[in-house]
Amino acid sequence: MDLNKLTTGDKVIAASGIVLFIAYFLPWFKVDLGPFGDVTASGSDVDFLWSTLPMLLGLIAAAVVIATKLFDLKLPDLPAPLGQILLGIGAIAAVLVVLKLIIGEDHVDRAYGLFLAALAAIGLAVGGYLKMQEGDTTTGGTSGSAPF
């Protein structure tokens, strides 16, 4: 397993996907009960759309990058270049988590896991953009960068 096969975009996607997975289990929201301590809710306690879907998208993106580069997995023909697909996956994850960060929940405070998840989801989108700029020369589907 040669990590030198990974480009900068690949490394950002893989790291962001793993961090997003870890952040999913950390506290996203908390309520301070004074002398009785805090009550927290992790990403797994938040609705599927806002937490589980972005975490799954991050894991899928990380798995695709790792499998195609480190294990030489060949992808089937794709409807778009892999970089564009990974950018789309990252953008969806980032929008969902950042919206949850902005919207929040009623009567509770945001906790550090939500901020970490937002950073990781944004990193996933940035990694997809970098991957798109690099072009897709070793994976299935259409090669090249964005058509514009």
Q: What is the DSSP letter of 43?
A: G
Q: Could you identify the residue written with the tokens 């020369």?
A: 137
146 assigned to some structural domain: no
98 assigned to some structural domain: yes
143 assigned to some structural domain: no
Number of compact structural domains in the chain: 1
How far apart are the C-alpha atoms of 73 and 25, rounded to whole Å?
A: 29
Q: What is the pLDDT of residues 3-61, one digit of tens each?
A: 788 999 999 999 999 999 999 999 999 998 989 988 999 999 999 999 999 999 999 99
Domain that holds residue 78: 3-134
Check pLDDT > 90 for residue 148: no
144 assigned to some structural domain: no
148 assigned to some structural domain: no
147 assigned to some structural domain: no
Taking phi over 0 as left and psi of -120 to 50 as alpha, with beta for the rest, 92 belongs to alpha
CA 13 from chain center: how many Å?
7
Q: What is the pLDDT of residues 51-61, one digit of tens each?
A: 999 999 999 99
Mean pLDDT of 88-110: 95
Q: H helices of 72-111, where?
A: 82-103
How far apart are the C-alpha atoms of 49 and 65, rounded to whole Å?
A: 23
Instruction: Read off the pTM.
Output: 0.86
